[in-house]
Amino acid sequence: MSKTLFDKVWYSHIVESFPKGPSVLYIDRHFIHEVTSPQAFEELKTRVLLIFKKERIIATVDHNVPTKNQHLPILDALSRKQVQILFENCKINGIDFFGLLHNYQGIVHIIGPELGYTLPGMTIVCGDSHTSTHGAFGSISFGIGTSQVSMVMASQCLLQKKPKQMRIHLVGLTKISVTPKDIILYIISKVGTDGAVGYFVEFSGKVFRRMSMEGRMTVCNMSIEIGAKGGLIAPDKTTLNYLNKIKFLPKDILLEEAMPYWRTLYTESDIFLDREYYFYASDITPMITYGTNPGMGFSIVRRIPKINVDYHQSISYMGFKAGYSLIGKPIQYVFIGSCTNARIEDLRIVANVVKNKKKAFHVLALIVPGSKQVIYQAKKEGLDIILKKSGFEFREPGCSACLGMNEDKLPFGAYCISTSNRNFVGRQGFGARTLLTSPLVAAIVAIEGKIIDVNNFYGKN
């Protein structure tokens, strides 16, 4: 019988299943961070249970940590305590812990792939919704709740019902200056924020085949913003080349023996999934969001549409009016970071735009690389110097202004062009207004000090 990519990975991980009920799914990798893990450790302690397989857990700190002076003790007492608790829990249980001063520290969804923890055909979970990022490698990855974190710790398994499957197919190729972020923002704007509830989504089409791994991670990262349980893309040459370059992998065995298996991971061509979407790639243009959910996005040159009452509230929160264009709107903050767009490729795009230019003087531009490894690579390529010269603040890794849990909060009413994944009310700070874009658009806005059409920028310079 023909199988989909999802089926292949799913069925190879089933330990046992109840007829008409949930299945016991074996988990290969478990990432934990400081915010959603303490109660899970507590639970194990009260039940006097041991960690089932400590080698499969990797811990890092990201949500709560400062992005300045990470070598000093954390100022905020609660954040300090959470980091300390995670450190102690890992030490007692023998779990690999990448603390603030560790070379491998960074946002969980960025360090997983770059350290070679994320591999095709795996099942991966983390107590964080954007775990879907790892699907870029052709793995089943999804976010879980705290009780489930303790289940995986105790048994390396989860009880799960098999989700339905959806495929989103892009026909043809995109125009230049359209980045993976624009593609996913476009898809979200079309499918809607609840269009894929209950589904696992596979992305297919030439565009994705030609996309870099970094780009695929950006797409899969935001696949949960259409309500999906997760997203995935079949592994191919690009995936294998990427894995080839990771210096942390034991090359000899891995590549020779694993590759033939990984090559079998794709959806066979004669299958229809539970739901299929087709879009034309050539319709996509640089995108921006104008409202308070990621589905409220449109081409940057369009005017804000007149739509239903629900949107009214959200548009007035943003301080916009129907019928107006965003072009020319002055912006005070630019944030480049988060697990969506803080990889080395994103930094390269930004550096390329801002090279030999200065940011507009009224803009506060923040770059928060996703991990220590990204910083290391950026320094090697001299990107940090280019960025600092252009007036960007170059910070240390963490989630930072993506959710404003540390000090990097935005003031009331401020407009921020952000490369992160959610523009919810107050997410970046009380009353802060977020506009999601690609790093390319964000870099251009930092230089211009206002929103402009990407094509005009290139015409001018």
Partner 1 sequence: MEKIEILVSRAIPIAIENIDTDQIIPARFLKSSKRQGFGSNLFRDWRYTNQGLVKESFILNNPKFSGKILLVGRNFGSGSSREHAAWSLFDYGFRVVISSFFADIFKENALNNGLLPIEISEVYLQYLFKTISYNRHILYSVFLGRQIIKIDKSFFYDYFSMEKYKKTCLLKGQDDIDHLISLYKKIKTFEVKSVFNDKENSYFIWRWSWR
Distance separating alpha carbons of residues 400 and 217, to the nearest angstrom = 19
Query: Pick from ligand SF4, partner 1, none: which does 121 bind, CB < 5 to 8 A by kind?
Result: partner 1
Note whether 163 binds partner 1 by CB under 8 A.
no
Q: Which lies closer to ligand SF4 via its Cβ, residue 64 or residue 123?
A: 64
Note whether 283 binds partner 1 by CB under 8 A.
no
Compute CA 260 distance to the chain's CA centroid, rounded to the nearest angstrom: 28
Q: How far is the CB of 58 from partner 1 (least distance, A)?
A: 8
- Interface with ligand SF4 by CB under 6 A: which range of 272-280, 374-382, 396-404, 437-445? 396-404
DSSP state of 47: T
- If DSSP codes are grouped into helix, strand and coil, which group holds residue 434? strand
Note whether 431 binds partner 1 by CB under 8 A.
no
Note whether 40 binds ligand SF4 by CB under 6 A.
no
φ, ψ (nearest 5 deg) of residue 247: -80, -10
Q: How far is the CB of 329 from partner 1 (least distance, A)?
A: 30
Are 399 and 366 contacting, i.e. CB atoms less than 8 angstroms apart? no
List the interface residues with ligand SF4, window 374-393 (CB under 6 A).
none
Bridge partners (DSSP) listed for residue 203: 168
Are 265 and 8 contacting, i.e. CB atoms less than 8 angstroms apart? yes
- If DSSP codes are grouped into helix, strand and coil, which group holds residue 415? strand
Q: Which lies closer to ligand SF4 via its Cβ, residue 28 or residue 62?
A: 62
* Per-position x/- string for 318-357, each x denoting binding to ligand SF4 as judged by CB under 6 A, each - no binding: --------------------xx------------------
Q: Which of 5, 95, 107, 232 binds ligand SF4 (CB under 6 A)?
A: 107
Distance separating alpha carbons of residues 436 and 169, to the nearest angstrom = 23
Query: Pick from ligand SF4, partner 1, none: which does 85 bind, CB < 5 to 8 A by kind?
Result: partner 1
Residue showing tokens 């080839």: 244
Compute CA 430 distance to the chain's CA centroid, rounded to the nearest angstrom: 23
Are 229 and 237 contacting, i.e. CB atoms less than 8 angstroms apart? no
Report the C-alpha dihedral over residues 295, 301, 303, 305, rounded to 10 degrees: -30
Distance separating alpha carbons of residues 201 and 204, to the nearest angstrom = 10
Note whether 167 binds ligand SF4 by CB under 6 A.
no
Q: How far is the CB of 19 from ligand SF4 (least distance, A)?
A: 37
Strand 164-171 to 199-204 pairing = parallel
Q: Is the dihedral of CA 338, 341, 345, 350 positive or negative?
A: negative
Note whether 430 binds partner 1 by CB under 8 A.
no
Note whether 24 binds partner 1 by CB under 8 A.
yes
Q: Which lies closer to partner 1 via its Cβ, residue 48 or residue 176?
A: 48
List the interface residues with ligand SF4, window 110-149 (CB under 6 A).
128, 130
Strand 297-299 to 287-289 pairing = antiparallel
- Interface with partner 1 by CB under 8 A: which range of 49-57, 306-314, 330-338, 372-380? 49-57
How far from 298 is each of 71, 287, 305, CA to CA, in Å? 41, 5, 9
Q: How far is the CB of 221 from partner 1 (least distance, A)?
A: 18
Which amino acid, residue 44?
L
State the SS3 of 230-286.
Answer: EEECCCCHHHHHHHHHCCCCCHHHHHHHHHHHHCCCCCCCCCCCCEEEEEEHHHCCC
CA atoms within 13 A on the CB side of 238: 18
Q: Which of 154, 255, 301, 364 binds partner 1 (CB under 8 A)?
A: 154
Q: Which lies closer to ligand SF4 via its Cβ, residue 204 or residue 434?
A: 434
Q: Counting every residue, how long is the chain?
A: 461
List the interface residues with partner 1, window 71-90 (CB under 8 A).
78, 81-82, 85
Q: How far is the CB of 108 from ligand SF4 (least distance, A)?
A: 6
Q: Which lies closer to ligand SF4 via its Cβ, residue 5 or residue 107?
A: 107
* Per-position x/- string for 292-321, each x denoting binding to partner 1 as judged by CB under 8 A, each - no binding: ------------------------------
* Residue ranges binding partner 1 (CB under 8 A): 8, 12-13, 15-16, 18, 20-22, 24, 26, 28, 38-39, 42-43, 47, 49, 52-53, 55-56, 78, 81-82, 85, 96, 116-117, 119, 121-122, 129, 145-148, 150-151, 154-159, 248-250, 253-254, 257-258, 261, 264
* Residue ranges binding ligand SF4 (CB under 6 A): 62-63, 107, 109, 128, 130, 338-339, 399, 402-403, 420-421
